[in-house]
Amino acid sequence: MDNNELVICQGLTKNYGKKTALNNLNLTLGRGQFIGLLGPNGSGKTTTIKLLNGLLQPTSGSVLIDGQAPGTYTHSVISYLPDKNYLNDAMKVNDLISFFSDFYTDFDRVKANDMLDSLGIDPLNRLKTLSKGNQEKVQLILTMSRKAQLYVLDEPIAGVDPAARDYILSTILSNYSEDASVLLSTHLIADVERVLDEVIFLKEDAMVLHDTVDHIREEHGKSVDALFREVFAC
């Protein structure tokens, strides 16, 4: 295996009963890349993300993260933000920080507090008393304050107001190490595409495109957002 290959999916397939959610995904992701996982509702983004995290077992095919099948090692190198809140929202933000700090040896408490401070979130608040957008920001900060090899973010900015999105994307970008990669699923393509290196398009249950953003602009002469609207026009 090439050491630059952080994620390798081979023939990755997931059926839920008779429904195929992901069909024969062959995908390699390198290190140091910011990758957008894009596709309409129900195209298999969350399924792919859960397979990478070992939360679902593939029906067939395989996943390797840094050369290992999902398990204890891969959990230690992936920092994952699920699409739904999984934290105890009765906890205060600073208690959540302590919890992450105790649980993850790679968690950087100073970084987390700096990001909270710059977003104006008081760590003495309980999570459930914050607005939806601010709850998302806290969860993203907790996820990005680990020193992981791969950050997997499932719809991280859907509830965040447009003015804060830019700041958050810059924060995400400036706060992970150069050789780590970020895989982010989103419907907000126009907002994120300026920071993406690569994109993956999922259509129904299959990957129909995996390319660099620069190459897409060169080859198609249009933005990723415009290409997405063309490929997925209803």
Ligand X SMILES: Nc1ncnc2c1ncn2[C@@H]1O[C@H](COP(=O)(O)OP(=O)(O)OP(=O)(O)O)[C@@H](O)[C@H]1O
Of positions 8, 9, 21, 140, contacts ligand X by CB under 6 A = 21
Which residues are CB-contacts of 232 (< 8 A; sequence separation ≥ 6)? Answer: 39, 40, 201, 203
CB of 106 to ligand X, least distance (A): 27
* Smaller CB separation from ligand X, 17 or 221: 17
* Smaller CB separation from ligand X, 42 or 159: 42
Which of these, 116, 109, 166, lies nearest to 140 by C-alpha position?
116
**Residues 44-83: x/- map of binding to ligand X (CB under 6 A)?**
xxxx------------------------------------
Residue 146 is a binding residue for ligand X (CB under 6 A) = no
**Which listed range, 16-24, 68-76, 142-150, 217-225, lies at the site for ligand X (CB under 6 A)?**
16-24
* Smaller CB separation from ligand X, 96 or 140: 140
Residue 53 gets which letter from DSSP?
Answer: T
Q: Please, which contacts does 93-97 make with residues 24 or more away whose CB atoms are closer than 8 Å? A: 93/121, 93/122, 93/123, 93/124, 93/125, 93/126, 93/127, 93/130, 93/138, 94/123, 94/124, 96/127, 96/138, 96/142, 97/123, 97/142
CB of 33 to ligand X, least distance (A): 20
* Smaller CB separation from ligand X, 130 or 209: 209
